[in-house]
Chains A and B, each alone.
Chain A
Amino acid sequence: MSTGVEEILRVEGGQVLATLIRMTRDFELAEDAVQDAAIEALDRWADDLPANPGAWLTTVAKRKALDRIRKESRRVDKETEAVRLLDQGAATDDGGDDRLRLLFTCCHPALAPDAQVALTLRTIGGLTTPEIARAFLVSEPTMGQRISRAKKKIKVAAIPYRVPADQELPERLDAVLAVLYVIYTTGHHAPIGSARGRVDLEDEAIRLGRLLALLMPDEPEAHGLLGLMLATSARRPGRMAPDGSLVLLEDQDRTTWDADLVAEATAEVNSAMQARRVGSYSLQAAVALEHSSAPRYGATDWTRIADLYGLLATVDDSPIVAVNRSVALAKADGPAAGLAVLGGVNGVDGWHLYWAAKASFLEELGHGQDAIEALDLALDCPMNDDDRALLEDRRYRLAEPERR
């Protein structure tokens, strides 16, 4: 068994599976048929690799699907019906990409969000159920059930297999983008390389993002999301200290950052920002790129970042955006400017980063005691262990002079 063949199977497999699902309208049957075809490929390709492996796999998988239908159907009319369906399915090829259709099916709003994520990774990403279960820290039976329930609903409720029409596209595309971003952020917040054999969801999301941007080149937000993921991942090598703790942006060694990813992100962001109405992912991408392309922390263009957050606030009126904008403004125009913006933000009392930002501004303005009180309020909020460690450290250093 050569790894070359396995790699081809992985690369081509997603496309072949998507085509078989379109033809059979049956996830289980399509998966089984592609699996059968892959086994035959492993057997045959070692000596004789076909010129077009994808077409070979599709043809063999279609034959395998028919074999399975014949074996399972006891009555002739049922088999004839299945064969007719399969031919009809083959005829519905309108030249569009089957993976794109499948992506919209997997991210259909009639499926629960966690099922959308799991099914996308399973069918488009080609991950196994145990891999997905590990990535999301749930048991294998739970994940298996989640995926099979979703497949069953697609079949029984007849969730369609197509790219939505123009009038429904914006909403449906948002759902697809949200699924990819959930996959990305789950990977981003997971400890890197912890459990052995754990798949890298960050890479997986980028792979899916590249596919989406390739298949929907006219959708600015597809480029925006890809740009956001690339610009963020470019900094990954500097994100973690050897002891596994997080390194703050200002302390990261920028020579470790991935220049190729920054270049790719730049191209995506540029194309996303051409849109008449620039979307939320595109603006977040532009912010991330400002950070990733600044040669030194001191060279960060905070005025531009504050402007981008200002634009973002017009499409996403969330307190999180407002707090981020206050931080950028404080860097550009001083802590008083940041504090002034924070004064107008509501509904963030339970968010630790709001209090952390406030503490920074107060500290810079020389109000040490007020800053400590803000940090105490921050530490009362829920947060992950990394953030807690950083905040406790800050609180300790702020309080230290008093002890002397």
Chain B
Amino acid sequence: MPRYAALIYSDADTEGQGSPEDWQAIMDEYSAFGAEAGAAGVVLGGEALEDTDTATTIHVEGGKGGTITTTDGPFAETKEVLGGFYILHADDLDGAIEWAAKIPGAWHGRIEVRPLLEFEE
């Protein structure tokens, strides 16, 4: 059964905004999703991420062992930021889309669904 990452993106402008009540409402939506998806055995894992202003981007210049450059902020300065992810187990892409559409981020922002690269042992 293929595994998918459901990457949760939200608008950079609204990151960290909103009243505590708004925040609580969204958390409640995520709890509801977690309960439903957990009962269905779809979610294999997932985490929420701190805001992008806590992100550090690392690049090694000149190949392995080269100079490490670190940059403050996320890799791509885009309007939409990655806020968290789930790892989903689904029969096929339609199944993954069906569950991704239930993640609250799907209406607060966007969900990018990507198949996991499965390495052969």
- The answer to whether A158 and B2 have CB atoms under 8 Å apart is yes
Q: State whether the Cβ of A46 lies closer than 8 Å to any Cβ in chain B.
A: no
- The answer to whether A158 and B97 have CB atoms under 8 Å apart is no
Number of A-B contacts (CB under 8 A): 25
Q: State whether the Cβ of A157 lies closer than 8 Å to any Cβ in chain B.
A: yes
A160 CB contacts on chain B under 8 angstroms: 91-94
Within 8 A of B (CB), among A155-169: 156-160, 164, 168
Q: State whether the Cβ of A55 lies closer than 8 Å to any Cβ in chain B.
A: no
Q: A156-B115, A157-B115 are in contact. Are A110 and B92 (CB under 8 A)?
A: no
Q: Which residue of the partner chain A has the closest CB to B95?
A: A160
B1 to chain A, nearest CB (A): 9
In the assembly, what is the distance between CA of A108 and CA of B90, in Å? 17
Per-position binary interface string of chain B over residues 94-121, scored 1 when its CB falls under 8 Å from any chain A CB and 0 otherwise: 1001000000000000000111000000
Give which listed residue, B2, B90, B91, B97, contacts A110 with CB less than 8 A: B97
In the assembly, what is the distance between CA of A318 and CA of B93, in Å? 33
A24 to chain B, nearest CB (A): 15
Q: Which residue of the partner chain A has the closest CB to B2?
A: A158
Q: Which residue of the partner chain A has the closest CB to B120?
A: A78
A159 CB contacts on chain B under 8 angstroms: 92-94
In the assembly, what is the distance between CA of A157 and CA of B113, in Å? 9
B92 CB contacts on chain A under 8 angstroms: 158-160
Instruction: Identify which of B4, B94, B114, B115 gathers the most chain A CB atoms within 10 Å of its CB.
Output: B94
Within 8 A of B (CB), among A67-124: 108, 110
A73 to chain B, nearest CB (A): 11
B114 to chain A, nearest CB (A): 8
Within 8 A of B (CB), among A112-163: 156-160
Instruction: Identify which of A157, A159, A160 gathers the most chain B CB atoms within 10 Å of its CB.
Output: A157
B11 to chain A, nearest CB (A): 23
Pull 7 A–B residue pairs with CB atoms less than 8 Å apart, ordered by A.
Answer: A110-B97, A157-B2, A157-B114, A158-B115, A159-B92, A160-B91, A160-B92
Question: CB within 8 Å of B: which residues of A?
Answer: 108, 110, 156-160, 164, 168
Given A157-B93, A159-B94, A160-B92, 18 more pairs with CB closer than 8 A: A108-B93, A110-B93, A156-B115, A157-B2, A157-B4, A157-B113, A157-B114, A157-B115, A158-B90, A158-B91, A158-B92, A158-B93, A158-B115, A159-B92, A160-B91, A160-B94, A164-B94, A168-B94
Q: Shortest 5 CB-CB distances between A and B: which pairs? A: A160-B92, A158-B92, A158-B2, A159-B93, A157-B115
